[in-house]
Each structure stands twice: as structure tokens, then as C-alpha cells.
Amino acid sequence: MKRANALALLSLLFPLVVSAAGVELPVEGPGLRAALTEKGTVLVVTTPGWDAPTGHLWMLTRDGDGWRQLGSPMKVNVGRAGLGWGRGLSQPPAEARNPIKREGDGRAPAGLFRLGRVRGYGAQPPSGLRLPYAPSTQRSFCVDDGASAAYNQLVDLAQGEKVQWKSAEVLRRKDGVYELLLTVDHNGLEDAKAVVPGAGSCIFIHIWRGPGKPTVGCTALEKKEFERVLATLEPRSLLLQLPEAEYEAARQSWGLPALKP
């Protein structure tokens, strides 16, 4: 068999492991293909490379006529250490050459994820919001203690109820970055049965501290733009977050559109 034919055969047999150029792709989890064929919105975040702390966000929607891009890309900040393979509708490659998301590594998760619910400081949800909403109080937490039974879960403590963990994020912060936040279903944040201790917790999309100021593992953007994104989303919307080269390979494998500047 000629070398060119052999490479072509390998790319057909293993399309979700590496591309012809050697770009690594995640392993498809159950429901990934079906999720990408549903009508609805997909947020696509790309970065220049695995260690880049900034990137851009596109809003894509799928209907009977195929994919459409909604507006222009928006600037975002991701983890201070860049991206690492996360756990959602896609899973890290079995023998990953690129980073895998771990607790406290400063990386935002790469892959395909369901988007969940919105938390905020207001008693009522923002006008036009179609996602589930709950107000955050000083007793609202996301647990990042890997030894706790509540690891990577949102918890609202009743008055007088004691904490059952050593560390957790308070959802009503003084700096306002969680004035609005959207949960990303990474590592079982929306499904406790899927949680793997130490694989990363409390991943949100939220308001940034400013352009070029990375997060500790979330994805953040300017407040007005985030409000516009939230008003566009419907239940079961998706986040696809990848370095640019990996997105291009996933686009070809998963039938996604080219991104327009």
C-alpha cells in the first residue's frame, strides 16, 4: 500500500484521535454527535494555543438551513495557564500529549460541554433569560475541596447550617465578577454522578476583571457582551472550547462551520 493511501486510511479509522497534521482531538463521549445536530446555540471559544490565556468567542446557531454565525467574535480571557482537556460530552484522549485539566492548575477545560444554569446577584433573572436562574447569597458556594462529598457542586446553605468542606468558592463576591455566571457542565457540575475528584471544579462563564486579565480556570468576557450572550442562549446550549488548530480539525470531523472574523 502506498504511503499516501495508508495515511488516508488511518485518518478514516482514527478521525477523533489525531488529524493528518498530528493535531490531537478529544474522545467523543455519549451524545456528542447528537448534541451537535440539535437546533440551538453553540458558543465556540478558541485560543491561539494551549498555553494562551486569551482568545475569542463566537456564537453559532443551527437550524433547518444549517449553521449561522451570530454577530462578530468577542474577546475572552481563559485560565492563566491556558487550556487543558476537560470532561464533558468529550473526554481527554487516552494518551494525551497536551495538558489534561486538573484541580488548581489554572487551566480552563478544552472540549465540548453542555451549558447549565445562571446564578446572579439580582433577586429576579435578567430580562429575556431562558436558562434556569437562582440568586446567589453569601451562603451560596461551589465546593472545590476534592475530599468533600459535595466536590464540584453548587450548594446553598440554610441559615445556621455548617460547611462540610475545607475550601469552596463564595458565589457572591465583592469584585462583581460573579454578578452573573453561567455554569459549564465540566466534570459533573450538573450531574454529581459524573464527578471525578481532582479533575477540576467550579467552571463558569462570567464577567471579566478586564481585557487581558486571565482567570483561574473559567472563561470570562465583558459584562455587556456577556449579557447579550445570555439573552441568546436556550436550555441545552453548548460550549466548544479549543485551541485554534484543534477547532479546525474538529470542524472537519464534526461538520462545524468555518469561523468568520
Q: pLDDT tens for residues 154-196?
A: 999 999 999 999 999 999 999 999 999 999 999 999 999 999 9
Answer yes or no: is 19 within a domain. Answer: yes
Residue among 48, 207, 195 at smallest CA distance from 126: 207
Residue 76's nearest CA partner among 41, 42, 48, 114 is: 48
Whether residue 5 lies inside any domain: the answer is no
Query: Domain range spanning residue 246?
Result: 11-91+98-254
CATH of residue 104's domain is 2.40.440.10
Q: Is 259 among the domain residues?
A: no
3 in any annotated domain: no
**Is 81 in a helix, a strand, or coil?**
coil
Residue 85 in domain? yes
Per-residue model confidence as pLDDT tens digits over 63-104: 877 999 999 999 999 999 999 999 999 999 989 999 999 999
Which CB contacts under 8 angstroms, 24+ apart, belong to 59-63?
A: 59/229, 59/232, 60/256, 60/257, 62/36, 62/37, 62/38, 63/39
Per-residue model confidence (pLDDT) at position 63 = 84
Q: Identify the band that residue 22 occupies on the pLDDT scale cut at 50, 70 and 90.
A: low
In a domain, 6, yes or no: no
Domain count, the chain: 1
* Domain membership flag for residue 21: yes
Total-model pTM: 0.91
182 contacts 204 by C-beta, under 8 angstroms = yes
Question: Rounded to whole angstroms, what are the CA distances from 92 to 77, 173, 253?
Answer: 22, 32, 16
Where are any strands of DSSP class E within the chain? Answer: 27-28, 40-47, 54-63, 66-77, 82-85, 90-91, 107-120, 133-135, 140-143, 154-156, 168-170, 180-184, 204-207, 219-221, 238-243
pLDDT (average), residues 50-56: 98
Would 15 be classed as within a structural domain? Answer: yes
